[in-house]
Amino acid sequence: MKRILYIFIPVLLISLLFVSCEKDEAFFDESLLIGKWVSGTEFYKYLSDGTGSTWDTSDDVSEDEAQLFEWTLVNAELTHIHLFEFKGVPKFYTVTELTATTLKYEDSFGKKFSYAKVND
């Protein structure tokens, strides 16, 4: 009987160890997202009220003519809902880096995006 206990206890402890080793989900502070970001000629502006705008100067579009969107950042999941006349079109991203000067994320197809903060 003791022999069974000597085998059972280590097996139980090892199984509990593997169950408790879950991957921690990344968390990013959404206040770092607020502001204007640029990558080449593409700009994104995030406002603290959960709205924003995007424009591309290579398409001869200025900030005044920007496409409006609503955004949320929950842990590492960044969602843009681009606002059109009759509906919103959601786009989903996973943030990989967010600092006071750098924003990096990728979409579900593996396309990576990288932006630098613009100081106005």
Q: What is the pTM of this model?
A: 0.77
> Does 3 fall in a domain?
no
> Does 5 fall in a domain?
no
| Calpha distance 94→38 (Å, rounded) | 18
> Does 58 fall in a domain?
yes
Pair 56, 37: CB distance under 8 Å: no
Q: Which pairs from 87-92 meet CB under 8 Å and 24+ separation?
A: none
| Calpha distance 111→25 (Å, rounded) | 21
> Does 10 fall in a domain?
no
> Does 17 fall in a domain?
no
CATH code at position 82: 2.40.128.280
pLDDT band at 85 (very low <50, low <70, confident <90, very high): confident
Q: Which domain holds residue 106?
A: 26-118
Q: How many domains does the chain have?
A: 1
Amino acid at 12: L
| Calpha distance 40→76 (Å, rounded) | 24
Of 112 and 1, which is predicted with more confidence?
A: 112
